[in-house]
Amino acid sequence: MNLILLGPPGAGKGTQAKILAKKFDIPQISTGDILRGAVKEQSPMGIKAKGYMDSGSLVPDEVVVGIVKERLTKPDCSKGFILDGFPRTVIQADALKLTLGDMGKAIEHVISIVVDKEELLARITGRRTCRSCGKGYHLSFDPPKKVGVCDECGGELFQRDDDSEATMRNRLDVYEKQTAPLIDYYGHDSLLRTIIGTGSIDEIKQNILTGIKDGTV
Ligand code: AMP
């Protein structure tokens, strides 16, 4: 099960990737999470990536391709993997194809999650995360019981630097220009399944599973 989840920021890729990773017992590989980890650790890669991330631009291809190449060689990827937020450019998609080819593997499904722009803006700008345990909330759709405090661990909730409205608009533009061409790229390889990303988390999960099973969505 070698899977890519494709879609604009806020489409729910991370949420669905976590559910599918658990269901199929394969790792979720989120380049955004790996990069945020590097920023937090202040590693040389993190220091380099921070400026791009804060402004909503893409981190250079060679950096993210390097991250993914290394991650794919780990033993937990032997049964499959879910790429969440990678590839984001045609250059990254080409590099992925080559890397997997060298390993005797290939992508089997690309799930494109579609959500309209206004909904994405509302979703992202209301997103909050616990600084201690990482649990996610939404100010309107899934608020914490006490403002600014995590229900699970009492940690402080914060807004990701790149979830502000101005940065989010840039991230959506970047998606349209640099990542949306991958819809044709994978459509051409007949790997693409398109899923409407509105509705309950469970409905969306079911649609993805149907798409993976019969390849017709
Ligand atoms: P995400 O959490 O997937 O929305 O990623 C957050 C930020 O990390 C993006 O806005 C980019 O700056 C950077 N990033 C994550 N994945 C990639 C990628 N595949 N290519 C380039 N930049 C990335």
Domain map (residue ranges) of the chain: 2-116+165-214
Mean pLDDT of 36-55: 93
What ligand 1 atom has the least distance to the C-alpha of 86? 19
| Between residues 160 and 112, the one the model is more confident about | 112
Straight-line distance from the first to the last Cα atom of the chain, in angstroms, rounded to the nearest whole number: 17
Mean pLDDT of 33-59: 93
What ligand 1 atom has the least distance to the C-alpha of 31? 16
Residues marked as catalytic = 13, 88, 127, 160, 171
Position 216 scores a pLDDT of 45
Distance CA 104, CA 121 (A): 40
Return the CATH architecture of domain 2-116+165-214: 3-Layer(aba) Sandwich (3.40)
Position 214 scores a pLDDT of 63
Distance CA 36, CA 47 (A): 10
Position 55 scores a pLDDT of 87
Distance of CA 123 from the midpoint of ligand 1 (Å): 17
How do residues 127-179 score in pLDDT, each as one tens digit? Answer: 999 999 989 999 988 999 999 999 999 999 999 888 888 888 899 999 999 99
Residues at CB less than 6 angstroms from ligand 1: 9, 31-32, 35, 52-53, 56-59, 64, 85-88, 92, 162, 171
Distance of CA 119 from the midpoint of ligand 1 (Å): 20
What ligand 1 atom has the least distance to the C-alpha of 13? 3
Amino acid at 99: T
Q: Tally the residues of the chain.
A: 217
Burial label for 41, CB within 10 Å (0-12, 13-18, 19+), is exposed
Position 141 scores a pLDDT of 86
Region class of 148: left (phi > 0), else alpha (psi between -120 and 50), else beta: left
Counting ligand 1 atoms within 8 A of each CB, the residue from 35, 123, 159 with the most, and so the one to mutate, is 35
Q: Look-up: residue for tokens 């070698």?
A: 2
What ligand 1 atom has the least distance to the C-alpha of 53? 12
Cross-strand bridge partners of residue 4: 83, 110
Position 160 scores a pLDDT of 84
Position 215 scores a pLDDT of 52
Counting ligand 1 atoms within 8 A of each CB, the residue from 31, 90, 161, 169 with the most, and so the one to mutate, is 31
Distance of CA 58 from the midpoint of ligand 1 (Å): 6
